[in-house]
Chains A and B, each alone.
Chain A
Amino acid sequence: MNVIIILILVSLAVALLFLAGFVWAVRSGQYEDTVTPSLRVLADETKAPAESISESNSTSKRT
């Protein structure tokens, strides 16, 4: 065994973490629309919609 193997495995593990992060980002739809978010930040923060509509449903993955 050599220390380089440990180093390679550690670096690979870190890289895998980033890969997992990327997969999460893709799955959560961040690559679906890359234009609108850049426009959204231009407007000032506004409050979330009234409580009459439940938030959990509207963000479900059924697009």
Chain B
Amino acid sequence: MGLRRAGSAAAILPNLSRADIMSSPAVLLEPPAVAADDRCYHCGEPCPDEALALDGKNFCCLGCQTVFTLLQENGLAQFYALNARPGTRIRARVSAARWGFLDDPAVQAALYDYADAAQARVTLQLPAIHCVACVWLLENLFKLHPGVGRSVVNFSRREAAIAFAPAKLKFSELAALLESIGYEPQFTFGEAAKAKVSPWRQRTWLQIGMAGFAFSNIMIMSLPFYLGLDTYNGPWFRTFAGWLALALALPVVTFSAADFWRAAWASYRQRRLTMEVPIVLGLVAIYGSSVFEVATQRGPGYCDSLCGLIFFLLCGRLFQKKTHDRLTFDRDYKGFFPLSVVRKHAGGEECVAISRLETGDHLVLRNGELVPADAKLVAGEGCIDYSFVTGESEPVKCGAGERLYAGGRQVGGAIEIETVKPVAQSYLAALWNNEAFHKPGNQDLDSLTNRYSKRFTRLVIGVAVAAAVFWAFKNPAVSLKAFTSVLIVACPCALALAAPLTHGTAQRRLARLNIYLKNALVIERMAEVDTIVLDKTGTLTTADAGGVRFQPADSGGRNADLSADETKWVASLARLSTHPNSVRIARALGAAALPVHHFEETPGAGVAGEVGGHAIRLGSPAWAGQGAADGDARPGAIAGSAVMVAIDGRVAGAFVLENTLRPEVGKLIALLGGRYEIALLSGDNERESARFRTIFGERAVMKFNQSPADKLNYIRELQQRGRKVMMVGDGLNDAGALKQAEVGVAVVERIGVFSPASDVILDAEQVPKLAQVLDFARRSARVVRAGFAISALYNVAGVSIAAAGLLAPIVCAILMPASSVTVVVFACTVTIWMANRAGLRTEAPPAPEVLR
């Protein structure tokens, strides 16, 4: 398949906006040391030697300087006072035309929160928000343009709700304005389709508030009964307090516990025993027996325990939801596509929503835009970056008539394409639509909690019935009391809290290390994994920090490395380009800043210029070798991608950019090898097989030239043999395999840039920690079991008292909160302790994310 060969073409491209290239330091060759003062005043990145200076401040590029000037002029200089170097590097020239699709009324209707004749309000995703200064600047946006009204930032969701007057400032202009100051808005289908409101938030808070209110007030009223003081006021007080407590508890049972009722009803209809069933059973038993006791004037009831139980359960649930909410990422594949594209028709061009595309449509793609569906190149020079698809960062050059695949991104000039497949049938959608993606949540039902709760419910009902039968013979008056007391005291509060708190704590700890889990249950599944399948490119190797090697031309008169002077010439030229290959070469060659004349960058080909009187060309073999004397041979067989160097019309050789292994990969494999079965799957050819064999050892399975479907099938095969598989991969290419595996781990170079369907998103730098993470997952599962054991101890004590018919309200009131609190404290502290033991210590104390 053509896609997998994406990396083989070497091409030099300007203006490539792959942000990760700019920010990841070279590992092989240290970048030239830069004093702290030389960093850009705006974005904090190292400045080139002849930095742009203004007001005694250095700037790395014109973009940063422009933003600085703009903010100064509009009285927004405080931006720089709030946080040192708070900006984001301005990477590409801003064009309002790029945002043209935002002026399509259909798109606007989908995105606007509110619109009338005078103003519109929209909530925009601005992933670049990262500090105090960002919040301040965005909320003072009205100072930059009179058309902007009030803007409110939601920091944790990286969102800004902005009101603006479309008459003064078009939506596309607003987007361009934001982009120009470094906050490029992100639009996705998934976002647009998502419901705008998150009703659970407010509801959960209200439910907790209600339960807490009732809990505390009933407890205050019940104090005399705990202490046996109620006889002083006579039985009428007990009745009065009892009815009042029942009244206060009523909204708790109906409103606060509504979700438990609903879940229990659902599991009843599906004939399953989930955690909610014993909870609801307990609720009914407690409230019912309380009504009975109060009505027959036997006692004050158990409403205090009831409300406390629901209060603690809801708190645990809120903690879980908040954790999940914060770490949620969008796995909707539509999210990768732009909302609309420019379609050509007889009269000119128009913006159309992507869902309205038809086969045979002619589309115009500009720099940085995605190919929405499989297509044919009609005009222009295609240079497609398939990094979303294959994980390979080097773009593929295409000529007219060649096939382009969905998910590729055009870099360079505008091209015209003709779609050959509708959006849904394209290559990526076909992979995404694989049934592995629609796997119903069956595995969730198999969670530890549900397995335990099944046994728990059966056991409790069994004990309750046994107690009732026993007392029916011995003393029929106690029979009903024993039956209900068992159900009351055996409430699985602690059981329900153990897993969410442990997993939630674990999830937060991992998130601090830039390891994001889709949900808490992933930890449990990770603990059960016994086979690990690793992808090669982008997972074990990294292109960004790759080794750069110079290979001299092997014939044509010279067979030597570049001289010191020549190295300087080439370095001076390379550093002027922002293309990843140029950046890597410039870093590898070290600092050199000779003046370059006649600098010229040809998209998709290379850079040329005159340094010290010599014409230097750096780029793809076909391009850089142009005008070379006949007989100048190309360098010999090259493994990896090559960038050709020509000096004064003679081919001097080529830079070979190798994919290097991430540091500590060998150690990681050795650690994992002891416990897990390991396999390596790669889309690349076998040229590096020997190197990996030494790392992986003889036993490991190694497969090369694997297509995405091959990877998917291999994992399915393993699963059919009863294996629990964890797939570690990168790129949408592995998406099917990631989803098919019990645990899919996506390795990303920059969080937020890329999120394929997976269960775990792992920052590339944390790959060596994988073994510790798995170790931690197993320990967490043990913590959950220990939590269950603690809760079981309390239950045994409580149930014994209850079955003996001796349950007093005070026992209930003490036992229930005590068991909950013990489990909460145990789960949180032991999980953190375990994380430290597993070697997942965070360097700094829980730093607020504000401080970057």
Residues of A in contact with B (beta carbons under 8 Å apart): 2, 4-5, 8, 11-12, 15, 18-19, 22-23, 26-27, 29, 31-36, 39-40, 42-44, 46, 48-50, 52-55, 57-60, 62-63
Residues of B within 8 A of A58 (CB): 119, 121, 149-150, 163
The A-contacting residues of B in range 414-459, CB under 8 angstroms, are: none
Given the known interface contacts A26-B205, A52-B168, the answer about A19 and B149 at a Cβ–Cβ threshold of 8 Å is: no
Given the known interface contacts A5-B240, A8-B221, A58-B119, the answer about A39 and B155 at a Cβ–Cβ threshold of 8 Å is: yes
- Minimum CB–CB distance from A63 to chain B (whole Å) comes to 6
Give the residue name and chain of the A residue nearest to B113 (CB). A62
A33 touches B202 (CB 8 A): no
B165 touches A53 (CB 8 A): yes
Contact of A63 among B164, B168, B197 (CB under 8 A): B197
Given the known interface contacts A12-B217, A49-B142, A55-B150, the answer about A44 and B78 at a Cβ–Cβ threshold of 8 Å is: yes
Does any Cβ of A come within 8 Å of B850's Cβ?
yes
A53 touches B209 (CB 8 A): no
B82 touches A53 (CB 8 A): no
Q: Tell me the complex Cα distance, A8–B196, Å.
A: 43
Count, A-B residue pairs, CB within 8 A: 112
Q: A19-B209, A43-B78 are in contact. List 12 more A-B contacts (CB 8 A).
A: A11-B217, A19-B213, A27-B202, A36-B152, A39-B155, A48-B150, A50-B146, A52-B146, A53-B142, A58-B119, A63-B123, A63-B161
B217 touches A15 (CB 8 A): yes
Residues of A within 8 A of B241 (CB): 8
B135 touches A36 (CB 8 A): yes
Contact of B156 among A18, A36, A63 (CB under 8 A): A36
A54 touches B118 (CB 8 A): yes
Q: What are 20 sample pairs from A and B whose C-beta atoms fall under 8 A apart?
A: A11-B217, A12-B244, A18-B213, A19-B209, A27-B202, A32-B154, A32-B202, A33-B155, A33-B157, A36-B154, A42-B132, A43-B132, A49-B148, A52-B146, A53-B119, A53-B142, A53-B165, A57-B114, A62-B121, A63-B161
- Minimum CB–CB distance from A43 to chain B (whole Å) comes to 4
Residues of B within 8 A of A42 (CB): 82, 132, 136
Give the residue name and chain of the A residue nearest to B216 (CB). A15
- Minimum CB–CB distance from B811 to chain A (whole Å) comes to 25
Contact of A35 among B82, B155, B209 (CB under 8 A): B155
A52 touches B156 (CB 8 A): no
Q: Tell me the complex Cα distance, A52–B850, Å.
A: 32
Does any Cβ of A come within 8 Å of B597's Cβ?
no
Does any Cβ of A come within 8 Å of B267's Cβ?
no
> Which of B118, B157, B196, B213 has most A Cβ within 10 Å?
B213
Does any Cβ of A come within 8 Å of B116's Cβ?
yes
A39 touches B156 (CB 8 A): no
- Minimum CB–CB distance from A48 to chain B (whole Å) comes to 8
Residues of B within 8 A of A44 (CB): 78
B202 touches A26 (CB 8 A): yes
Does any Cβ of A come within 8 Å of B147's Cβ?
yes
Give the residue name and chain of the B residue nearest to A21 (CB). B209
Contact of B132 among A8, A23, A39 (CB under 8 A): A39
- Minimum CB–CB distance from B148 to chain A (whole Å) comes to 7
Does any Cβ of A come within 8 Å of B352's Cβ?
no
- Minimum CB–CB distance from B122 to chain A (whole Å) comes to 11
Contact of A23 among B148, B209, B220 (CB under 8 A): B209
Residues of A within 8 A of B155 (CB): 33, 35-36, 39
Does any Cβ of A come within 8 Å of B741's Cβ?
no
- Minimum CB–CB distance from A42 to chain B (whole Å) comes to 5
Does any Cβ of A come within 8 Å of B237's Cβ?
yes
Residues of B within 8 A of A48 (CB): 150
Please encode chain B, from 770 to 782, with 1 for each CB lying within 8 Å of some chain A CB and 0 for all others: 0000000000000
- Minimum CB–CB distance from B311 to chain A (whole Å) comes to 14
Q: Tell me the complex Cα distance, A6–B213, Å.
A: 19
Q: Tell me the complex Cα distance, A50–B221, Å.
A: 54
Contact of B850 among A39, A49, A63 (CB under 8 A): A39
B209 touches A26 (CB 8 A): yes
Query: Closest 4 CB pairs between A and B?
Result: A53-B149, A58-B163, A43-B136, A49-B142
Contact of B150 among A11, A19, A53, A62 (CB under 8 A): A53
B119 touches A54 (CB 8 A): yes
Residues of A within 8 A of B850 (CB): 39
- Minimum CB–CB distance from A2 to chain B (whole Å) comes to 7
